[in-house]
Every structure is written in C-alpha cells, then in structure tokens.
Amino acid sequence: MWKIIIIICALGFDCQQLEQNPMQFYEDYNECMAVAVEKEKQLTELYRNYGYLVEDSKATCKNVKAS
C-alpha cells in the first residue's frame, strides 16, 4: 500500500511535509503518484494565492505495510 507525501518549501520558512488527512492508501504506486502530483499542484497554487513564494515542491509516495 502507498501513501502520499508532499513537501513544500516556501521562501523564509522551513520546508513542510504534508500527508493526506484523513489518510488514504493506494494499492498501486502509479495511481498514488498521479493523485500526489495533482495534489502538489493544488497545494502550491494555494500557497501562492496566500502570498508565499514557493521555492521548491515535491510529490512522492511512500510504501507502507498494511496493518
């Protein structure tokens, strides 16, 4: 199972690691990455709309063991 992790670095602030809340898990890495990339776009746009200068961002998926 895979979960989304997005990292956003804004000028003058520490980088933030974000995860979905509530947490969602994906069976397939490619499906997870497709959702992660879309969420990264949405989040960086939101940060910019609030006046932050986004220096860098990254979308990735982390493999987690099923409970």
- pLDDT tens for 24-38 read 999 999 999 999 999
Which of 12, 27, 20, 15 has the alpha carbon at shortest distance from 58? 15
What is the pLDDT averaged over residues 10-29?
A: 95
| Rounded Cα gap, residues 27 and 63, in angstroms | 10
Is the pTM for the entire model greater than 0.85?
yes
What is the pLDDT averaged over residues 57-64?
A: 97
Above 70 in pLDDT, residue 7?
Answer: yes
The DSSP secondary-structure symbol of 49 reads H
Above 80 in pLDDT, residue 65?
Answer: yes
| Rounded Cα gap, residues 35 and 32, in angstroms | 5
**Contact in structure between 8 and 18 (CB atoms under 8 Å):** yes
Please report the pLDDT score of residue 64 as a whole number: 93
Phi, psi dihedral angles at 59 (to 5 degrees): -110, 135
Please report the pLDDT score of residue 47 as a whole number: 96
